[in-house]
Amino acid sequence: MKRILVFAVISVLCLLMVTGCKKKDDESSTIGNVTDKPINITHWFWADNPDYSAKMQQIATDFNNSNNMNIKVSAQEYPWEGGGYSETLFTAAMGGGGPDTAAWKLTSTPLFKANNLLAVLDSYIDKWDDKDDIESNLYEVMKTAGGSDSIYVMPWNTQILYVYYRPSMFKDANVAVPTTYEEFLEACRKLTRDTTGDGKTDVYGFGMRGSTGGQEPWGSFIYGRGGDLSDFTTTQAVAGMQDFINLFKKGYVPPTAPTDGFNEIIANFKSGRTAMTIHHIGSSSGMVESLGDDVDAFPFPAGEKQWTSMGDTENVIFEKCDNKDAAFQWVAYLATGKGQEEWCKTTGNVPVSKRVQALPEFQENKFMKVSIKGAPYAGIFPILDTTTEWISTIWPNTTAAALAGNKTAAQAMQELQKGLYGS
């Protein structure tokens, strides 16, 4: 009797293991034929704060209630973690899991495309009524990112980096808003002050980001001296790096700068520890909430050249998605529909939809204006198969060594060149 019982238990366990591993294959249905069965779409996204998170959930609910094809989007949030989001997404997708659609950064495109994980969107976009509501050059940028003539990425919104500043501190230090790169460096010096008279610096001119993600504001310094991102070893690019190092060495940035990331630069700026910092419009609502009128912005000023980083956020559809038509309805809703309007109003991101751009809320926003001013010289880092590692590991560690004086600007730039371009 005992043996039979044990055998039965083992059999059940084995059966459970086998059936647990079996993929559910009875969930698919096709769009076009509106059925009672909902078409489930799983969407991954990241959010910079709880308000954005709640907004995305609301957008998904609105879409679920308003679409007439019984599409049900389940929006699942994953942390950005300085780019760790893309790695999580890749791991999930390579393992056969992950979502049907996901919020996206262009830098990830070559990796996912090389592994055949993304759906080609050209045929969907060509048939789409709202195709022309998005600037055609944006589609070209999407193609360039994928390194082919096909579009794998659906535009969503952009974030142009600019300089946040505290008008009250500028007034106290008698500093005008910089209009040239040299003036910007000078402002960093003048705004670094001992305001309490105890002989210690309590306000730093600039909130430098030395951790992951810091390469974006850093790029503006390289262009400021006439360099560019195609060759870090030129005299001009090295001079830009030297400026960056000097800001740290001379104490115009907080001593924590080598490891300061997004949270630290924002906290330092809001607390009054820094007078300027560089970020995009995504953080503007939080800034205004904390500082009221005592926060404003200006485009990173021109030196020998002018450049600022264009943060981009898009959406993609995965090749494994069973209902690509339904998935496209969703990403289209985010790109030009009510989803675009709601998301950009909440986050303050620059819309890609021309209709939404023309709305008064966007035309009257001072941070939006600065973003739009920066658009003509905004760019992205070269998208190579080395870019992800370069951004997450090589840039922060090499720059930290240069800031600490363990490497000269030239040595650091050679290392950065090797890390990104291989030579």
Partner 1 sequence: MHQRKGGFWPYLLLAPALLVVLAVVLIPAINAVFMSFQSYDLRRPSQIGFIGFDNYVAVMKDTLFWQSLLRTVYWVVFGVGFQFVFGFCLALILNKSFRGRGVVRSISLIPWVTPGVLIGLMWRWIYDGSFGVLNDILMKLNLIEDPIAFLARQDTVFPAVVVTIIWQGIPFFALMLLAGLQGVPGELYEAADIDGANVFQKFFRITVPSLQNTIYVTTLLRIIWVANSVDVIFNMTGGGPAYASQTLSVYVFNKANSLNLGYASTMSLLLTAVLLLVAVPYLRNLFKNQEA
- Interface with partner 1 (CB under 8 A): 3, 6-7, 10, 13-14, 17, 84, 87, 90, 94, 110-111, 114-115, 200, 210-212, 254-260, 264, 267-268, 271, 273, 385-386, 388-389, 392-393, 396-398, 400-401, 403-404, 406
145 vs 257 by CB, closer to partner 1? 257
Residue 108 Cβ, how far from partner 1 at the closest point, in Å?
11
Q: Biggest alpha carbon distance in the chain? A: 92
Residue 87 Cβ, how far from partner 1 at the closest point, in Å?
6
257 vs 335 by CB, closer to partner 1? 257
Residue 85 Cβ, how far from partner 1 at the closest point, in Å?
12
Cβ atoms of residues 205 and 252 within 8 Å:
yes
Residue 289 Cβ, how far from partner 1 at the closest point, in Å?
19
**What Rg do the C-alpha atoms of the chain give, in angstroms?**
24
Residue 3 Cβ, how far from partner 1 at the closest point, in Å?
7
100 vs 264 by CB, closer to partner 1? 264
35 vs 115 by CB, closer to partner 1? 115
317 vs 402 by CB, closer to partner 1? 402
Q: Residues with Cβ < 8 Å from 222, sequence gap 6 or more?
A: 228, 229, 232, 236, 237, 240, 241, 307
Residue 270 Cβ, how far from partner 1 at the closest point, in Å?
11
252 vs 343 by CB, closer to partner 1? 252
Residue 129 Cβ, how far from partner 1 at the closest point, in Å?
37
Residue 337 Cβ, how far from partner 1 at the closest point, in Å?
34
What is the SS3 string spanning the chain? CHHHHHHHHHHHHHHHHHHHHCCCCCCCCCCCCCCCCCEEEEEEECCCCHHHHHHHHHHHHHHHHHCCCCEEEEEEECCCHHHHHHHHHHHHHHCCCCCCEEEECHHHHHHHHHCCCECCCHHHHHCCCCHHHECHHHHHHHHHHHCCCCCCCEEEEEEECEEEECHHHHHHCCCCCCCEHHHHHHHHHHHCECCCCCCCCCEECCECCCCCCCHHHHHHHHHHCCCECCECCCHHHHHHHHHHHHHHHCCCCCCCHHHCCHHHHHHHHHCCCECEEEECHHHHHHHHHHHCCCCEEECCCECCCCCEEEEEEEEEEECCCCCHHHHHHHHHHHHHCHHHHHHHHHHCCEECEHHHHCCHHHHCCHHHHHHHHHHHHEECCCCCCCHHHHHHHHHHHHHHHHHCCCCCHHHHHHHHHHHHHCC
47 vs 400 by CB, closer to partner 1? 400
76 vs 397 by CB, closer to partner 1? 397
Which pair of structure tokens corresponds to residue 119?
A: 């759906």
User: How many CB atoms lie under 10 A from the CB of residue 48?
Assistant: 15
7 vs 28 by CB, closer to partner 1? 7
Residue 50 Cβ, how far from partner 1 at the closest point, in Å?
17
195 vs 393 by CB, closer to partner 1? 393
Residue 7 Cβ, how far from partner 1 at the closest point, in Å?
8
